[in-house]
């Protein structure tokens, strides 16, 4: 039986000898809405020259502890000084195994750990500070933390301090001071020893007290001098990425080889082991597509992409490139009956005159050549208009969706005829393209959003994001005005990734934690997009 269990057993036995009294909620009467109040502490708050080896807190009513190990924050950290808990009716005591360090100011913040026994009302501001020396440290640090890509408060993240003389860092060592932000992203550290510190805000997912690659972190390039009155130190949390994408799985079928990755990539290039000309490599990569938000690379069986060993180079959004040797196999035989080569999204019989039509293909297509005609649009059976890429026709990044924008003046009907010599499957499958005839309507199932831009920056990415802050449409540095068409009705928000140094890439974070991330503008208000409606008065200033 543990020491704590022994202690609780003795307390229970003592309660039995005194009359078997039990603590329970009273029956009937008004509901208890009053939280318990801290009556006294030992040591007293602000005490100096403390020699005792325990901390006791007494409250105005019976209380219980809830998730103490999660809620209690002690600064400086007591990494090697464990404690036991002695609970009383309206008080509790922490009994430490070792004496506190000499000439040190300690602060205890119990946050939401103390609640009453009737309604679990939380006691507020349960904290105390004392010193084992003759003086009480008076340094303080406060501020806020937000998430860079959303500008939302970074709640319940750790703000940690490392003294200048500490040879370890946020990746290897334990912090000297630690506090957590509240739901509004605010934090405050009191009774800190004055001096120079490295300071970070860390979304410590695995709760190991250190920064691990892949976690979100806010950082400052320079040391902070902590003194009794310090201006707010604010953070923006980003996810610096110095790691290349890693292959987590490989699986082949008769006509595709799927490579799964642990993170999204933006580019994938396949090269053979034997020397090959640039033209041959380009033909080989006609069978390479990226899906699943960059987490899956599909290698489609083509005359150029056959079974064998290749080098796959995958590059993420910040330029980290991983190169792996893969052994491509296409096991099994083709099914006796293959699925249809394509379908038209929604099987439309009518279409808005300025709407769009999406062809969904089973296998990826060969890349489209800019400026090349991919088909014709027949308007009212009278006029024929060429469809060119990218003006009227575009391919999705995985080359399985061909989107045709109509913008027609037809009064009654339109017929889409795709050119089988221009729209070609990368695998060589026959597509069986057929004319698509549709009636023209004046009612659009989509909405539009337009507005003006005021900025001093020359390079930026204007994004329209959904409720989860995922981009649904992107414009590269539009000047003066912007417009998003063919939007599915819903709630959206404008976000701008600002390329402040003009190098063509937005910097989300420095893996060395020395250069701050570039700015992000997130519109404070959302925009509601409705079908057959245009919102045209959006103003974006950054």
Which pLDDT score is estimated for 70?
86
**87 inside domain:** yes
* Whether 154 and 218 share a structural domain: yes
Q: Is residue 205 situated within a structural domain?
A: yes
Judge if 7 and 127 occupy the same domain: yes
Residue 223 has pLDDT above 70, yes or no: yes
Residue 18 has pLDDT above 80, yes or no: no
Q: Which of 115, 131, 147 finishes a domain?
A: 131
Q: For 26-77, what is each residue's pLDDT tens digit?
A: 455 678 788 999 999 999 999 999 999 999 999 999 999 999 988 898 989 8
Identify the CATH number of the domain in which residue 488 sits. Answer: 2.60.40.10
d(CA 7, CA 3): 6
- The SS3 of residue 378 is strand
At 207, list the tokens. Answer: 């709760």
Q: Is the pLDDT of residue 3 over 90?
A: no
Per-residue model confidence as pLDDT tens digits over 125-171? 899 999 999 999 999 999 999 999 999 999 999 999 999 988 888 99
Q: What is the pLDDT of residue 462?
A: 97
Residues 6+ apart with CB under 8 A from 375: 386, 387, 393, 404, 416, 417, 418, 419, 422, 423
Alpha-helical regions (H) of 430-490: none
| Contact criterion met (CB below 8 Å) for 271 and 241 | no
CATH number assigned to the domain comprising residue 407: 2.60.40.1220
CATH of the domain at 307: 2.60.40
Nearest CA-CA partner of 153 in 182, 133, 125: 182
Nearest to 298 by CA among 344, 359, 241, 365: 365
Tokens 């060592």 locate to 173
pLDDT tens-digit profile of 196-217? 999 999 998 887 878 998 899 9
Enclosing domain of residue 40: 3-131
Residue 413, strand partner residues: 439
Q: State the Cα–Cα distance between residues 501 and 509, nearest whole angstrom.
A: 14
Q: Reply yes or no: is the peptide bond before residue 240 cis, omega within 30 of 0.
A: no
DSSP states of 477-518: S--SEEEEEEEPSEEEEEEEEE-TT-SSS-----TTS-SPPP
pLDDT at residue 182 greater than cutoff 60: yes
Q: Is the pLDDT of residue 4 over 50?
A: no
pLDDT tens digits, 462-508: 999 999 999 999 999 999 999 998 899 999 999 999 999 999 889 98
Peptide bond between residue 492 and the one before it cis (omega within 30 degrees of 0): no
Q: What is the pLDDT of residue 12?
A: 37
Select from 237, 258, 282 the last residue of a domain.
Answer: 237
pLDDT in the model for residue 214: 83
CA distance 18 to 268: 75
Looking at the structure, tell me whether residues 383 and 313 fall in a common domain. no
Summarize the chain as % helix, strand, coil (round to 5).
Answer: 5, 40, 50
């Amino acid at each position: 039986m543990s020491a704590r269990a022994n202690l609780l057993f003795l307390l229970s036995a003592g309660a039995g000898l005194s009359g078997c009294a039990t603590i329970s909620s009273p029956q009937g009467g008004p509901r208890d809405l009053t939280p318990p109040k801290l009556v006294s502490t030992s040591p007293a708050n602000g005490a100096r020259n403390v020699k005792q080896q325990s901390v006791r807190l007494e409250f105005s009513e019976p209380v219980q502890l809830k998730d103490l190990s999660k809620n209690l924050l002690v600064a400086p950290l007591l990494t090697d000084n464990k404690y036991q808990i002695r609970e009383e009716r309206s008080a509790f005591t922490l009994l430490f195994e070792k004496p506190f360090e000499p000439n040190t100011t300690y602060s205890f913040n119990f946050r939401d750990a103390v609640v009453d026994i009737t309604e679990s009302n939380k006691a507020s501001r349960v904290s105390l500070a004392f010193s084992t020396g003759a003086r009480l440290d008076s340094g303080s640090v406060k501020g806020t933390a937000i998430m860079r890509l959303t500008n939302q408060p970074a709640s319940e993240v750790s703000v940690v301090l490392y003294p200048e003389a500490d040879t370890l860092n946020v990746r290897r060592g334990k912090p000297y001071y630690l506090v957590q932000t509240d739901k509004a992203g605010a934090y405050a550290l009191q009774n800190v020893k004055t001096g120079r510190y490295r300071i970070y805000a860390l979304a410590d997912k695995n709760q190991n007290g250190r920064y691990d690659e892949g976690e979100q972190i806010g950082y400052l390039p320079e040391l902070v001098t902590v003194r009794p009155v310090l201006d707010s130190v604010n953070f923006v949390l980003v996810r610096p990425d110095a790691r290349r994408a890693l292959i987590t799985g490989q699986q082949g079928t008769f006509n595709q080889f799927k490579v799964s990755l642990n993170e999204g990539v933006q580019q994938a290039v396949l090269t053979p082991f034997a020397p090959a000309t640039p033209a041959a490599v380009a033909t080989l990569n006609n069978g390479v597509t990226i899906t699943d938000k960059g987490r899956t690379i599909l290698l489609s069986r083509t005359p150029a992409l056959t079974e064998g060993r290749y080098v796959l180079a995958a590059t993420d959004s910040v330029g980290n490139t991983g190169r792996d040797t893969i052994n491509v196999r296409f096991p099994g035989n083709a099914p006796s009956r293959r699925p249809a080569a394509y379908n038209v999204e929604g099987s439309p019989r009518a279409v808005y005159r300025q709407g769009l039509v999406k062809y969904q293909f089973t296998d990826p297509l060969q890349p489209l050549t800019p400026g090349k005609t991919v088909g014709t649009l027949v308007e009212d059976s009278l006029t024929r208009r060429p469809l060119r890429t990218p003006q009227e026709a575009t391919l999705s990044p995985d080359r399985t969706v061909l989107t045709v924008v109509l913008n027609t003046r037809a009064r009654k009907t339109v017929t889409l005829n795709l050119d089988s010599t221009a729209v070609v499957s990368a695998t060589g499958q026959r597509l069986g393209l057929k004319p698509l005839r549709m009636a023209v309507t004046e009612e659009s199932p989509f909405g539009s959003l337009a507005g003006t831009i005021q900025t001093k920056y020359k390079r930026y990415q204007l994004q329209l994001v959904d409720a989860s802050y995922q981009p649904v449409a992107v414009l590269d540095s539009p000047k003066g005005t912007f417009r998003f068409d063919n939007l599915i009705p819903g709630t959206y928000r404008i976000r701008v990734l600002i390329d402040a140094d003009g190098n063509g890439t937005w910097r989300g974070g420095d893996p060395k934690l020395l250069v701050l991330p570039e700015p992000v503008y997130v519109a404070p208000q959302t925009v509601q997009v409705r079908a057959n409606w245009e919102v045209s008065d959006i103003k974006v200033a950054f």
